[in-house]
Amino acid sequence: MSSHTVSSHTGSSRTGSQPPSIAIVDANNFYVSCERIFDPRLEGKPVVVLSNNDGCVIARSQEAKTLGIDMAASWQSIAAEAAAKGVIARSSNYELYGDISARCVELLGRFTSSQEVYSIDESFIRLTGSAEQVSGIAREIRVATKKMIGLPVSIGIASSKTLAKLANRGSKSSAALQGVCNLGSYAPAQVTAILASVDASDVWGIGSRTAQKLAGMGIHTAADLRDTDAVQLRRRFGVNQERVVQELRGVDCLPLEEERSDREQIQFSRSFAVPISTVAELEEVLSVYTQRAAARLREQGSLARMMGCTASTSPFRDNHVSHAVSLAFPDPTDDPVQMYRAAITALGPQLQAGQQYVRVGVSLYEFSSRDSHASLDIFGTAPAPFAAGAVLDSIAAKYGQENLGLGRAGLKTNRAWTMRREMVSPRATTHWDELITVAAK
């Protein structure tokens, strides 16, 4: 373990007049960077990571990009050419990537009191202080993630999520910025020039089809979009596009998940780096998420009356599909078995095999205290219910979350049966028998 010390920034740098900033911390070439942590020989080499069954390229190092290796290219069709160019391939090692992601999330929590995990390699965090102070904290985060985890990150900072995403593009494209771009450090005229250089289609929340319609209205850049009539845009495209306009103006319209006024809910929702297209995979995700949501519910001593489940394809692709269901339990519960069965029963019939789903979510709400629902068995004849949740909690506490699950999530080895991973790296952080051997010279 590194001796590097992380100082706490959770509110200590707040000033009376300076509004807080939103930063997005984005791991660079995340899957490849995870592979390099335990295999330094990959540094500086062209590396690609392949999808399930070693089917296609889902991640590339900068060196592989420079060689012209295309994203989503079929590995079977390019393997010979890639080998001739010195490209090194690795099978996807999702257990390693998930653990590295969790470590990064925990580390970021030391720098902020508000965090939203947006995807496996991205988190939004709230930072307070002057522009100079916030940029300094961001640079500390970059040093800490590299030194303590081995992960290189880029950070974009602004007054809204949408602007932070644009700033993050700059943090990656300009070497002079050294991985941190804070739009709060720029004059208004400079920000306008930056937005004028960004196509409207590259703005977070604007898909290619919407961008085409915007072009017909004379809106071609992020600056054009910012300066358009927000009310008119709402009438034509809806409230979400109006929010994009306001966000480009620096108005924070999308609060972090932990800052929502309707925080009386527990939600597990994540975007996938690789779309899933089978009902079996979707059911597995629902199983994992209901189990984790129920564990969080038990941890805070609550029961939930309502549950919502969602699944959607990318909103930026043609034929976008989105499913959402809400259901009420007969009695408030924290039972993961009941939740899993309810999720599969309610959402399962809507799921469409072959669709490229990129996001699935489970949320629990309408909470009440567990103690307020204790029942009195006057005659002592009611059998004690099997406390599946408590059993799962105790096993997870002793052996880890991934060692036992419900339904498809419990079939841990099934994932290996259905995936060909001939070039997979060791799961160095989660399995004793796969720890890396270090040779001292």
CB 223 within 8 A of CB 196: yes
Closest CA to 346 of 327, 321, 322: 327
The verdict on 73 and 196 lying in the same domain is: no
Are residues 80 and 216 part of one domain? Answer: no
> Hey, which bits of 322-401 come out as E strands?
322-333, 357-369
Query: What are the strands, taking DSSP E only, across 165-259?
Result: 180-182
Give, in order, the Cα–Cα distances in Å from 259 to each of 84, 205, 308: 51, 21, 20
Assigned domain for 394 exists: yes
* 146 shares a domain with 217: no
Looking at every residue in the chain, the average pLDDT score rounds to 83
Backbone angles phi, psi at 271, to 5 degrees: -85, 140
Domain end: 177, 198, 216, which one?
177
Burial 376-385 (b: 16+ CB within 10 A, else e): eeeeeeeeee
Between residues 274 and 63, the one the model is more confident about: 63
How buried is 242 (Cβ within 10 angstroms: 0-12 exposed, 13-18 middle, 19+ buried)? Answer: buried
pLDDT digits (tens, 9 = 90+) for 88-144: 999 988 888 888 998 999 999 999 988 988 888 999 999 999 999 999 999 999 999
**Distance between CA atoms of residues 309 and 323, nearest Å:** 8
CATH (domain of 245) = 1.10.150.20
Domain closes at, from 119, 144, 177: 177
Is the domain of 349 the same as that of 403?
yes
Strand order in the sheet with 153-158: 180-182, 153-158, 21-27, 122-127, 115-119, 265-276, 357-369, 302-313, 322-333
**Residues 93 and 34: beta-carbon distance below 8 Å:** yes
Number of domains in the chain: 3
Close Cβ partners of 288 (under 8 Å, ≥ 6 residues apart): 405, 409
256 located within any domain? no
In a domain, 9, yes or no: no
Token digits of residue 114: 């508000």
Backbone φ and ψ of 221, nearest 5° = -125, 170
Going by pLDDT thresholds of 50, 70 and 90, the confidence category of residue 437 is confident
Instruction: Identify which of 33, 180, 24 has the alpha carbon closest to the alpha carbon of residue 112.
Output: 24
Q: Residue 294 maps to which CATH number?
A: 3.30.1490.100
Phi-psi region of 354 (alpha: psi -120 to 50; beta: other; left: phi over 0): left
Residue 87, both tokens: 């490209």
Give 271-304 as a DSSP string: EEEEEE--HHHHHHHHHHHHHHHHHHHHHTTEEE
* H helix count then E strand count, the chain: 15, 12
In 10 A of CB 137, how many CB atoms?
22
> What are 300's two structure tokens?
């805070």
**pLDDT more than 70, % of the chain:** 80
Establish if 77 belongs to a structural domain.
yes
Q: Residue 11's pLDDT is what?
A: 42
Q: Which domain holds residue 348?
A: 266-371+386-410
Q: How far is residue 373's CA from residue 87's CA, in Å, rounded to a whole number?
A: 60
The predicted pLDDT at position 113 comes to 82
Clarify whether residues 198 and 170 are in a common domain: no
Q: What is the pLDDT of residue 258?
A: 60
Task: Indicate if the pLDDT at residue 317 is higher than 90.
Answer: no
The pLDDT, as a whole number, for residue 17 is 55
Mean pLDDT to the nearest integer, 294-309: 88
CA atoms within 13 A on the CB side of 118: 17
Tell me: do 195 and 280 sit in the same domain: no
Half-sphere exposure of 390 (CA within 13 A, CB side): 4
Instruction: Give the tokens for residue 267.
Output: 């939600």
At residue 80, what is the residue type?
A
Residues 215 and 314 in one domain: no
